[in-house]
Structure formats: C-alpha cells, structure tokens
Amino acid sequence: MKRIAFLCLLITFTIGAAAQDGFDATFNLNGYGRASIFGGGSAYAVSSLFSELSLQPSVKTNNALLESDIRIRTGMFFNEKKTELQIRELYVGYKSRNFDVFLGNQIVSWGRTEGFSPTNNITPDDFFFLSSDPNDQKLSNFMLKVNYRPVIGIGLEVIAIPFYKMSSYRFDLFDMSGFDMSGLEQFGQFDTSNMIDFGNDMVPEKILANGSYAVRADFDFSAFGGSVSWFRGYDPYHGFNVVSVNWATGQPVVRISSMPYLKNSFGADLAAPLGNVVILRAEAAYNHTKNPNNNMYIPNPDISYVVGLETNLWGFMIIGQYIGKYTFNYSPLIQPVLPSGGSAAELLQYAEDMIDYENRMFNRKVFNQQEKTNHAAFLTVTRSFAYDVLSAECTAFYNFTSNEWFIRPKLSWRISDALMVAAGGNYMRGGEKTLYGYSSAILNGAYAELKIIF
C-alpha cells in the first residue's frame, strides 16, 4: 500500500517536472469525488457504503502520453471496513500516424455487442463492486498494447499480458449450504450447512509462458464494421476446483479455490446499419479448451454468440440481443445415487461422488454450459429528458435455459455540469442453487450516488 502511494507521488512529481521543464507537454488533471450507498438485500442491509476520490492526471507531448485513473476509496464493503488505493489505469504510450504503443495498466474492451461480448477476454471484472456505473467493475491488466493502422479503416491490435489477473466473483459471500447431500443427513452422519470453504485463488505461476496474448484485426467501412480476433491465455472468467476434502472432524469440509484455465478463443464481430434507423450487431467466439473432463474447472469447448438490434424510437434508444452458447462434447451430469443400506465405504464414496457432482454442476453454471445449447435475451432501453438533464435507463436479462433473470432500472439527474445524482436498483432472481439464486441475497437492492466532477 505504502509502495503504491509512493509510486503515485513519484509519478505525479515526474509529471509536474516534465510539464515544467520545457518538454512542450500538456498536463491535465480531471477526476471526481463521489459518495455511494448500496443496500436493501437480504444478506446485508447495507452491502456497500463508500466515498471515493478519482484523480485522472494525464500528460501529452507531441507523440508521447501518460494516462491514469487513480482512485482512493474508503468505506464498508460487505460489512468489512476498507480503505484502498486502486490504480485503475496507469500507462504510458507513443501515438503516431499509423502506429501506437502503450505500456502499463490498461482496460481493454473488445466486441461490438452490449453487455455480453464473447470476444472480450482481455479485461477482468469485479462483479461485486457496487456503484451506479457498471464500467466501474472493470479491472485493468498490466499489458503491452500495440496498434498498427496500415490503411484507412483497418487496424491491427496486438496485446501481451505477462501476468494473469482473474475476475472477482466473491462466491465466498454466498450461502452455499444448499449443496445436495440429501440422504446422508438421515443417517445423522453429515452436516452440510457449513461444508464449503473457499481457499486462496490458484493463479498460474508468473512466467511468460502463462501470459495472455491476443491479436485483433479490426475494420470499419461505410456498409459495415467488424473484426476477427484470437486470444490465447488464462480466461479472466475462471472456474473453481475442489482443492481438498477434509474429514478430520467427521464432517466433510470441501475447500474450493478459484482456478483459471487456459483457452484459445477465435472470435469475430460485426456492426452494420440497416437504413438509418437500425444497427445490426453480432459477435461470436469459439473457445477451445483441453481436458475439460479431467478438470472440473475447465469448461468444454464451446461457441458463444450474440445477435442484436439497436434503434431509436420516439426518443428511446433500444437495444435487444439474443445470447446463445453451444457446448461441444456435452453430456449431462449424472447425479450419484445413495446406496441403500450401503456400507461406510460406500457412503463415503457416495459423499465424494456428490461433492464432485455438485462442484462440476456449479462450474457449468459459471460457464453457462448447463445444457448443450443455452439461450438468453437482453434488453436495454434508455431515454433522456429535459435536455439531457435527466436520464432513465432500464436493462433486463432472461436466461431461458436456467430461468434466471434480472432487471436494473437507473435514473440520473445532472444537477449541473459538475454535480450529478444517480439512483437505481438491481433485482435478480433464480431458482434454488442457481447463480442468481445465490447472488440475489447479496446483489439485490437499491443504490444512490452523489458525484462531483472536475
């Protein structure tokens, strides 16, 4: 923490010195301060309560630049008091007519669809950072990014990320007592209410071979725009593995850890106007993995695809999308059967089989591979009022395969150029032992935020 603070000070002084020493540099300092509260869920009366200062110093010379977004935050997060410094972005770069190179902590978003982008494998998310802006959940990676534009309308992007960073699911906050060990309790042998223990994240060894590498060729023409891309690396949207099962107390304690997996992803996207009222957006990616059957934290190879339409109707901006996934080599998981009148060894085997089954099933939910084909729909409607002073939006999602859904309304009031208020809510619902079922106790609720921009 102190080292990071020192680094920030050093950078700030360096920027100041550069600006003063005749480098013909332009120094800018923007940012915001905000106070935010999120609460009303069943697990936490107040899930998140914090104040935050974002400083966004930047320096530009003729071709060189430095961009940053440094956030200092203090508050309560799921009943835990924290004061933290987040280097959300901090990178330096060189920009020229055909060639750019950037090095440092950056956020990259790939894909032409909204919310669910199969080609977007670069940037991890912290899904449990609760604020009025979903973009706040994006976490930067340290990376080298190179852009090359050989001709007008065509660009090539190459990214190298030496060290893996995973998304944050915070499943440790979930009530996982619903693991189905039914049948065993009747023998009075197992208590399943506290059997899940989340261990440390299992990140790959920090060697370059475990880095992530990605290339994208992007093109934009009058009739349409699109890209083709390739990603090789550990997926930020990781799985879970059973690290150990401890029987020392006579009760099974299953230790689960976040476990990333290696994949190759080949993707493409497209955006094409249909007349001047509708834009067609589409995106797909084939994700290739190895040994999914041997390791529960590795998903089967699959194809993820999204097709959507965007239009403006009576002042409303409407985006509707179909989201699908086809899983290769899919076979349903067979739930173990409790042996009737089984021996202790058989019961133990059954318990271990159930632990494996439940965790494999849980990973399939995380990977959205619950069926061979999985279907969902996404709709977002946005409208601004009173000369953009007020803005209302509502996003809804329904997963037809798992019958999970959410709805997220939001209102923003721009009181002045510098002052903004936002309020909204999140309501998600799913059946027993679904991800939304687990999450709803934590993520359902309403929020309010006051923000000063400078």
Partner 1 sequence: MKRTVFMSMTTLGLLFFSCGLFAQSAEQIRKKAADVVDLSSMTMDFTINIRDGKGSERVRQLTMITGRFNDVTKTLIRFTAPSDVKGTALLIFDYEEKEDDMWIYMPALKKVRRIISSEKGKSFMGSEFTNADMSKPNHADFHYELKGSETYEGRECWIVQAEGKDQAIKKANGYSRSVNYIDKETYLCYKTEYYDSSDNLHRVMIASDFKKITATSYFAYHTSMENVKNGRISEMVVNNLETGKKYREDLFSPNALQ
Closest by CA to 115, choosing from 390, 429, 444, 382, is 382
- Share of the chain residues as helix, strand and coil, in percent rounded to the nearest 5: 15, 50, 35
Closest by CA to 255, choosing from 205, 292, 294, 200, is 200
Q: How, if at all, do strands 46-60 and 64-77 pair?
A: antiparallel
Each as own residue / partner, the long-range contacts of residues 412-421 (CB below 8 Å, 24 or more positions apart, any chain) are 412/132, 413/389, 414/388, 414/389, 414/390, 417/453, 418/452, 418/453, 418/454, 419/450, 419/451, 419/452, 419/453, 420/450, 420/451, 420/453, 421/448, 421/449, 421/450, 421/451
Nearer to partner 1, 69 or 302 (CB): 69
Q: Which stretch binds partner 1 (CB under 8 A): 206-214, 306-314, 336-344, 425-433?
A: 306-314
Report if residue 88 touches partner 1, rule: CB under 8 A. Answer: no
Indicate which single residue of 63, 98, 244, 246 sits in contact with partner 1 (rule: CB under 8 A): 98
Show the site string, 368-387: x = touches partner 1 by CB under 8 A, - = not: --------------x-x--x
Nearer to partner 1, 251 or 311 (CB): 311
Find the shortest distance in angstroms from Cβ 295 to partner 1: 32
# binding residues, partner 1 (CB under 8 A): 49
Report if residue 108 touches partner 1, rule: CB under 8 A. Answer: yes
Closest by CA to 117, choosing from 304, 345, 317, is 304
Find the shortest distance in angstroms from Cβ 275 to partner 1: 7
Show the site string, 319-358: x = touches partner 1 by CB under 8 A, - = not: ----------------------------------------
Nearer to partner 1, 134 or 199 (CB): 134
Residues 34-63 that bind partner 1 (CB under 8 A): none
For residue 220, the one-letter residue type is D
Q: What element of type H or E holds 429?
A: strand 419-429
Find the shortest distance in angstroms from Cβ 48 to partner 1: 20
Residues 137-156 that bind partner 1 (CB under 8 A): 138, 147, 149, 152-155
Indicate which single residue of 125, 310, 404, 449 sits in contact with partner 1 (rule: CB under 8 A): 310
Report if residue 271 touches partner 1, rule: CB under 8 A. Answer: yes
Report if residue 133 touches partner 1, rule: CB under 8 A. Answer: yes
DSSP string covering 164-229: ----B--GGGS--TT---TTTGGGT----TT-EEE----PPPSSGGGSEEEEEEEEE-SS-EEEEE
Nearer to partner 1, 26 or 42 (CB): 26
Report if residue 162 touches partner 1, rule: CB under 8 A. Answer: no
What's the CA gap between 196 and 194, in Å, rounded? 6
Q: Which stretch binds partner 1 (CB under 8 A): 103-111, 247-255, 424-432, 435-443?
A: 103-111
Closest by CA to 141, choosing from 120, 117, 112, 166, is 166
Find the shortest distance in angstroms from Cβ 147 to partner 1: 8
Show the site string, 220-239: x = touches partner 1 by CB under 8 A, - = not: x-x--x--------------
Report if residue 446 touches partner 1, rule: CB under 8 A. Answer: no
Find the shortest distance in angstroms from Cβ 312 to partner 1: 6
**Beta strands in 201-347, from DSSP E residues, in sequence order:** 212-220, 225-234, 239-246, 253-259, 262-274, 278-288, 302-313, 316-327
User: Is 234 within 8 Å of 261 (Cβ atoms)?
Assistant: yes
Residue ranges that bind partner 1, judged by CB under 8 A: 30-32, 97-98, 107-112, 133, 135, 138, 147, 149, 152-155, 218-220, 222, 225, 271-273, 275-279, 310-312, 315, 317, 382, 384, 387-389, 416-418, 420, 453-454
